[in-house]
Amino acid sequence: MKKIILLTLLIFNFSFSQKIIKDISLSKLIDETSGLEIIDNQFITHNDSGGEPKLYYLNKKGKIISERKINGVKNNDWEDITQDDEFIYVADMGNNYDTRKNLSVIKIPRDKNSVIDPEIIKFNYPEQNDFRYKKLSQFDAEALISINEFLIIFTKNRATKKTDIYSLPKNGGEYQAKKIGSLNTQSIITGGDYDQKNELLILTSTISFDEYYILKIEDFSLKNKKDYKIEMYEIPIGKTQVEAVKIIDSNTFWITSEDEKSSSTARLMKIKL
């Protein structure tokens, strides 16, 4: 894959045309929801660090209808989930203080009744040589998408408020993640989704952990690009913790937020720009 250099123009959109059109309270079992997918008309989510190594399947009303335990793995810090035609990929790559050396992506069949053992895609960032505690971490990541034969990681860089983009193969093994570019998001990335047919990339982010945003990037691909325009929309829900997004169409998305003081439960929301 050729390395891409991404020069970006960030457009802040504070028109407040964006609205929450559905707001669903979630079970206490998924208070720390941190990823979101849809398969067979069911939502799939999971908790982040310290939760059980389970995927939770929800109906359209947000009710848990089944649980799927992934055997032989731990939930060190699950931060996102993505899929392709055959598999689900769970990103165990939360690295809040740049201290982890056991980053991985867990690969399982889409069929939730499958008893096949998961494949583990272990990886590291070749640019990281220092694993000492850092409050302004650079190698944390909470967004994972699938494009063709690659998994694409968007880092949560507190030091620069840019996101570095890395690629991984989809087969189990040990790899050095390959840096292929960066985006000047001027914020900290907390989740992502990609519509490959329409080349639409959607990221969620925050600047100071008080308010959260949707970043909309059109015509995103792994081909060489000169620049991208990033449109930034505030999510109008006040202080919460949005860490997952799923595209419905070019202006409508599902998001989830963790249980915070501003709400009594974790929430599943539909937002319209």
Distance CA 149, CA 169 (A): 7
Distance CA 204, CA 242 (A): 7
Per the CB < 8 A criterion, the answer to whether 118 and 157 are in contact is no
Cα 20 from chain centroid (whole Å): 20
Enter the pTM of the model: 0.94
In one letter, which amino acid is 198? N
Cβ neighbors of 251 (< 8 A, separation 6 or more) are 272, 273
Is residue 17 helix, strand or coil? coil
In one letter, which amino acid is 268? L
Largest CA distance in the chain: 49
Tokens representing 101 are 């050396």
Between 258 and 264, where is the model more confident?
A: 258
Tokens representing 73 are 């793995």
Q: Is the pLDDT reported for residue 88 higher than 80? A: yes
Between 208 and 9, where is the model more confident?
A: 208
Comparing C-alpha atoms, which of 158, 180, 157, 156 is closest to residue 168? 180
Using CB atoms within 10 Å of the CB of residue 119, give its burial: 0 to 12 exposed, 13 to 18 middle, 19+ buried: middle
Mean pLDDT of 161-175: 97
Lowest model confidence (mean pLDDT) among 81-95, 158-172, 212-226: 212-226
Q: Model confidence over 32-77: pLDDT tens digits? A: 999 999 999 999 999 998 889 999 999 999 999 999 999 999 999 9
Comparing C-alpha atoms, which of 236, 232, 215 is closest to residue 154? 215
Q: Model confidence over 211-223: pLDDT tens digits? A: 999 999 999 998 8
31 DSSP assignment: T
Distance CA 227, CA 205 (A): 20
Q: Is the pLDDT reported for residue 6 higher than 60? A: no
Distance CA 215, CA 211 (A): 13
Domains, the chain, ranges and CATH?
Answer: 7-272 (2.115.10)
Residue 91 banded pLDDT, cuts 50, 70, 90: very high
Comparing C-alpha atoms, which of 96, 91, 157 is closest to residue 123? 91
